[in-house]
Amino acid sequence: MTARTVISPELREWILATSRAGHAPRTVVELMRSHGYDPRQSRSVVAEVLKLPLATLLADADAPLVRRTRHPEAPLAMAADREVRVSLSVTKPALRVLDGLLTGEECDELVALARPRLARALTVDATGNLQVDHRRTSAGMFFKLGELPLVAQLEQRIAGLLEIPVSHGEGLQILHYLPGQEYTPHYDWFDPEQPGFAAVTERGGQRIASVVMYLNTPEAGGGTAFPAAGLTVTALRGSAVYFAYESGDTSSLHAGLPVLGGEKWIATKWLRERPY
């Protein structure tokens, strides 16, 4: 910290507030960098405000900024505002089935809020642009982070359960599948070998985990299959499947199986290694 560096009261308060909100010091540095601050100066300022040895931030400056999610282990896991039952645990991929993540009323409200805004669901192509993809035949929409009270409450619930800040999540996506519609086997992480990798990871970095929430129970079909684990998670209203992965983790291959009767509504939350 040089004598010439002056920390404004506003910046000091922002650093303290961001740290109190649960962000690690390195995440605070990354947020400052993304807003145009010099990385070296950012580390010095954060170390000064938080009363940390500068060496602590310098030592891991080049390490990957991946915030590991806490895989819920106990039969009852505590989220921000409710207990969630962990009914199944799988090691590879790191997967948990979460019963009661949402109430029936919350499921119905999300469906009602999303229905008027549905459009053909898109995927990200090799160059980082959105595309209509024959593999995904559903309709969908996105909520912005914290767009509505229910959305913000659910984001806080997931953040508390997995111990990863809300800011690391993409906007909540709602998808609607009719009979015969599906999403064939795919990965949620972005392939570093694809030419659009830099574009899709510029904001937030790589995806590190997914939470798929079931907003209704289809009459038949519509589960989420994980071929490497020999597992299909049944779509049950109010429950969810969480799975974490590294880039290149082939065990996280999964598919939204065809709906054989009725319809299927899901909400998906993708989590990133840095603030999105």
CA distance 236 to 245: 23
- Sorting pLDDT into bands at 50, 70 and 90, what band is 195? confident
State yes or no: pLDDT of 8 exceeds 70.
yes
pLDDT at 67 (0 to 100): 44
| 67 in a structural domain | no
How distant is the alpha carbon of residue 13 from its chain centre?
28
Residue 270 forms beta bridges with which residues?
A: 210
| 141 in a structural domain | yes
Whether residues 100 and 33 share a domain: the answer is no
Count CB atoms within 10 A of the CB of residue 3. Answer: 5
| 245 in a structural domain | yes
Average pLDDT of 104-120? 95
CA distance 195 to 206: 14
State yes or no: pLDDT of 12 exceeds 80.
yes
Whether residues 239 and 268 share a domain: the answer is yes
Whether residues 202 and 84 share a domain: the answer is yes
CA distance 233 to 84: 17
Whether residues 189 and 268 share a domain: the answer is yes
The tokens for 58 are 């310098």
pLDDT at 55 (0 to 100): 62
| 43 in a structural domain | yes
The tokens for 17 are 């507030």
Whether residues 48 and 153 share a domain: the answer is no
- Sorting pLDDT into bands at 50, 70 and 90, what band is 129? low
Whether residues 197 and 99 share a domain: the answer is yes
Whether residues 265 and 153 share a domain: the answer is yes
State yes or no: pLDDT of 134 exceeds 90.
no
* Structural domain that includes position 18: 9-59
- Sorting pLDDT into bands at 50, 70 and 90, what band is 54? low
Identify the residue with better confidence: 18 or 123.
Answer: 18
Whether residues 119 and 161 share a domain: the answer is yes
State yes or no: pLDDT of 132 exceeds 60.
no
pLDDT at 29 (0 to 100): 81
State yes or no: pLDDT of 238 exceeds 50.
yes
Helices (DSSP H) in 50-87: which residue ranges?
A: 54-59
Q: Are 47 and 6 in contact (CB under 8 A)?
A: no
The tokens for 115 are 């229905």
| 260 in a structural domain | yes
Of 12-21, 59-68, 191-200, which gets the smallest average pLDDT?
Answer: 59-68
Q: Tell me what percent of the residues of the chain surpass a pLDDT of 90.
A: 54
94 φ, ψ to 5°?
-65, 105
State yes or no: pLDDT of 216 exceeds 60.
yes
Average pLDDT of 204-218? 96
Strand runs labelled E in the chain: 76-78, 83-90, 94-99, 119-120, 122-124, 130-132, 139-142, 173-177, 183-186, 207-214, 220-221, 224-226, 231-233, 240-244, 254-256, 259-261, 264-272
Highest mean pLDDT among 9-23, 122-136, 156-170, 259-273: 259-273
Predicted confidence (pLDDT) per residue in 21-52, tens digit? 767 787 788 778 767 777 778 888 888 888 87
Q: What is the pTM of this model?
A: 0.73
Whether residues 210 and 147 share a domain: the answer is yes
Q: List the one residue out of 25, 34, 13 whose CA is nearest residue 55.
A: 25
Whether residues 178 and 115 share a domain: the answer is yes
SS3 107: helix
pLDDT at 63 (0 to 100): 44
Average pLDDT of 48-59? 71
| 197 in a structural domain | yes
State yes or no: pLDDT of 267 exceeds 70.
yes
N- to C-terminal Cα separation, the chain: 29
Q: List the one residue out of 213, 181, 228, 6 whose CA is nearest residue 104.
A: 213
Summary mean pLDDT of the chain: 86
Strands 224-226 and 231-233: antiparallel
Whether residues 264 and 175 share a domain: the answer is yes
- Structurally, the chain folds into a number of domains equal to 2
| 264 in a structural domain | yes
pLDDT at 2 (0 to 100): 41
| 94 in a structural domain | yes
For residue 227, give the CATH number of its domain: 2.60.120.620
Whether residues 201 and 161 share a domain: the answer is yes
